[in-house]
Amino acid sequence: MTFETDRHHTGVSQPFTMSETTASRKKAGPIEWTGLAVLALPPALLGLDMTLLYLALPALAGDLRPSSTQALWIMDAYGFMIAGFLITMGTLGDRIGRRRLLMIGATAFGAASVLAAFSPTANTLIAARAVLGVAGATLMPSTLALISNMFLQPSQRALAIGVWATMFALGMALGPLVGGILLSHYWWGSAFLVALPVVAIVLIAGPWLLPEYRAPASGRFDLPSVALSLATILPVAYFVKESAKTGLTPVAVLALMTGVICGAIFVRRQRSLSSPLLDVQLFGNGTFSAALGILLFGLVGVGGAMLLVTQYLQLVLDLPPVIAGLWMGPPAFMMIVAGIGAPLLARKIRPAFVMAGSLAISAIGYLLLATLAWMPGLTPVTIGYALVYLGLGTIAALGTDLVVGATPPEKAGSASAMSESVQELGIALGVALFGSLTTLVYRNAIFERLSYDLPQDVFAAFADSLWAASTVATPVAQDLIVGAKASFVAGMSASAAIAAVGVVVLSILCAWSLRRVPKLK
């Protein structure tokens, strides 16, 4: 099979064969490492954009006055579209060119950011957030697949992916700080305009520093498969989010059943196509499947911890968002250390054991979070969350590298999309599962503290969640808030303890399932 690549910025498209690429293993030079700096910007932007909105929501709600349903869609439209279009965009990049798709997606992301910043109505903002999600779905698989083209040596590729993976967490950690500064000086729309400098750098530097890669002989782009993938992923994503908010409602269950049925049809269609949207035969590779599973279940714990720790800092310790964001700095630093250090360590020790060891350490972090009911305060929550992020950085770097490295170059975009999809799903499942468990424990504990002669609005708020309870400003509510905080911490501790057990099991499975993967060279 023949593929095409632009030999960096020569502007000349030259054919090469798979065997030539694999055999050369050319060592990456200054151009590739400078190009990595460009490729690291989109994941940082997506992480920043995620946490910025949480701070901007109260201000934009006061201006646009969305209904409760509109407010939910303002938050969720972005995530739904990213989840729904990742696989489609990953495969599309393989076919039309990964750099080209990155340029198109970056342009669309910049335009949608301007639309979001100056949205006159809630519905306009929802539409802009949906477009941002579709554009965001082009950025992650395109950048990750391009890294696999630029860094052919396994050890260099793993290190590059480690740098790339840490940038998302760094963006999330900086979100509250950057958002606090912007919102203290400008209007809520400024939070969306942060994307413009990043988009400008990608559009200007990308054509000079990034190679083009496409597989023109990959066949027709199957639009029914795109529709089936959306009909699979979007209902499942809706089920996860809706069940976390309202439990197993009939609508949520119907959405799950729809997604499962469409998923079965999707898989059957992919097996019958000569050029499938997703090559399901990739799952026959043991390393590919095992690495995806570790990413999925590893991110479940991280998603739950992310939700609970941010609430603990702001609702239990009463830290303002900017200060809470600063305390997220040490965990983000630990992820950077792990993301860069793990690929270097994997040159001496097999990746399976590096990942398993870091997961075991992160289990200690979950146990520290489980002790907050007895040892409250900033120190245990910061150390515990930092250890959780140490495990995240390791599996994000090495796990993603194993997924991409286990696939041929012409499938790198599709593999990158799968890696991103399972991580998105893992975080969503973690939020749903551990959020629901914490809420269940909270409600059981708080009902023992509530009296039925309380005002109806106070009773309903405290029975709902700590977040709702913290919005009630009455003398009787102030007397009950200490008990509500204790009830939340009890639920958080139970969730963290279960996560610790799950991560220990995952560590053992990781060491066993990937034990034959050699050290990086």
Q: Collect the ranges in the chain with pLDDT lower than 70.
A: 1-25, 51, 54-55, 57-58, 68-69, 72, 173, 176, 215-219, 244-247, 321, 410, 473-477
CATH number at residue 171: 1.20.1250.20
The reply to whether 234 and 287 lie within a common domain is no
The reply to whether 493 and 437 lie within a common domain is yes
168 assigned to some structural domain: yes
Q: How many domains does the chain have?
A: 3
The reply to whether 106 and 251 lie within a common domain is no
The reply to whether 266 and 292 lie within a common domain is no
Domain coverage including residue 125: 24-221
pLDDT for 240: 74
pLDDT for 18: 34
- Report helix, strand and coil shares of the chain as percent, to nearest 5: 80, 0, 15
Q: What is the pTM of this model?
A: 0.78
The reply to whether 79 and 193 lie within a common domain is yes
The reply to whether 166 and 288 lie within a common domain is no
10 assigned to some structural domain: no
The reply to whether 121 and 35 lie within a common domain is yes
CB 308 within 8 A of CB 369: yes
476 assigned to some structural domain: yes
**Radius of gyration for the alpha carbons in the chain, expressed in angstroms and rounded:** 23
Provide the edge-to-edge strand list for the sheet that holds 213-214.
13-17, 2-6, 213-214
16 assigned to some structural domain: no
254 C-beta neighbours (distance < 10 Å), count: 13
pLDDT for 39: 92
18 assigned to some structural domain: no
The reply to whether 80 and 157 lie within a common domain is yes
Average model confidence (pLDDT) across the chain: 81
The reply to whether 163 and 254 lie within a common domain is no
1 assigned to some structural domain: no
pLDDT for 217: 60
Cβ burial of 391 (10 Å; 0-12, 13-18, 19+) is: buried
